[in-house]
Amino acid sequence: MEDIISMLADGGVLVADGAMGTMLQRAGLPAGTPPEAWLLENPGPVCDVHRAYLDAGAHLILTCTFGATRPRLERKGYAERVAEINRRAVEIARQAANGRAYVAGDIGPLGLFLAPLGPLSHEQAVGLFAEQAEALVAAGVDVLVIETMSALEEMRAAIEAAQQAARGLPVFATFSFDHHGRTNMGVRPEQAAQELTALGVQAFGANCGATLDMTLGALEAMHATAPDAWLIAKPNAGLPRAQGREVVYDASPADMAAYARRFAAAGARVIGGCCGSTPAHIAAIAAALKP
């Protein structure tokens, strides 16, 4: 398999996977247990979710490590197992991918504000991200993906840590645009495109977010700002809605597929799903993007 950068340079569009957490809940993840800790004892269901996305047509899967940074794991009593959890998650994803797909080491927000709004200094944040990024890289990922970021300061810290740990591997980065077309911390897509281009990540874009339309708007603005950039679209399957005691997301696989074409037209080269998306959504996206 050629490396991910060559593949994108050849003009390909890479189909990425969809939600992990909501899929694991269906497989028995108890309420309140972090998936990152659960996978230590339950590698099977995590591997099954990866396989379901690969079977649906995904060629990039994200490790189950969104919350596998120290401040998040600490609150659940897993502070001393940060490296182990990240390593295990990569092993499980690698096993599922079995050489037929790229494995991305997933890095999510710390759940804390950086100074001046909160307690964390830039250096502390870099250190926390570095701990995770180094474990992911050591375990053998193809790319690091920093996602669902809202604050520019936190994104900068995560990218600095990821690039130091990456030893030449690519780093991708996405913000979540969910409040009037900006991130909830106020970052505009144009500003994100400028910053992320300057920071030298290989691809960037939007994930999670509010509506599919808001993600599309963000992508179009990024594309206008950085026409040559490889963009990423990994949105939620629309908005959550209560259906009895379950939460359903209101975008169907067909809806996501229709948007996937529009994301591609706006410069997206990596397209997948976030909260509420399922293998059915990814299969529809893969079919829609077939040349």
Partner 1 sequence: MDAIGEQLQQAVLLGEPERAHDLAAQALRAGAEPLAVIEGALATAMQQVGARYECGEYFIPDLVMAAEAMKAAVRVLEPALAARQERRQVLGTVVIGTVEGDIHEIGKSLVATMLSAAGFQVHDLGVDVSAAEFVKRVQETGANVVGLSALLTTTMLNQERVIEALQEAGLRERVKVVIGGAPASPEWAQTIGADGYAENAAEAVTVVKQLVGA
In the complex, which residues of this chain contact partner 1 (CB under 8 A)?
21-22, 25, 29-33, 72, 75-76, 111-113, 117, 150, 179-186, 239-242, 244-245, 247, 275
**In this complex, which beta carbon is closest to partner 1, that of residue 40 or of residue 287?**
40
Residue 15 CB, nearest approach to partner 1 (Å): 24
**In this complex, which beta carbon is closest to partner 1, that of residue 198 or of residue 242?**
242
**In this complex, which beta carbon is closest to partner 1, that of residue 163 or of residue 174?**
174
Residue 36 CB, nearest approach to partner 1 (Å): 12
**In this complex, which beta carbon is closest to partner 1, that of residue 29 or of residue 284?**
29
Residue 163 CB, nearest approach to partner 1 (Å): 25
Residue 141 CB, nearest approach to partner 1 (Å): 25
Give a three-class secondary structure readout of 92-138. HHHHHHCCCCEEEEEECCCCCCECCCCCECHHHHHHHHHHHHHHHHH
**In this complex, which beta carbon is closest to partner 1, that of residue 72 or of residue 87?**
72
Residue 275 CB, nearest approach to partner 1 (Å): 8
Residue 96 CB, nearest approach to partner 1 (Å): 23
**In this complex, which beta carbon is closest to partner 1, that of residue 66 or of residue 102?**
66
Q: List the structure tokens of 14.
A: 């890479």
**In this complex, which beta carbon is closest to partner 1, that of residue 31 or of residue 198?**
31
Residue 45 CB, nearest approach to partner 1 (Å): 14
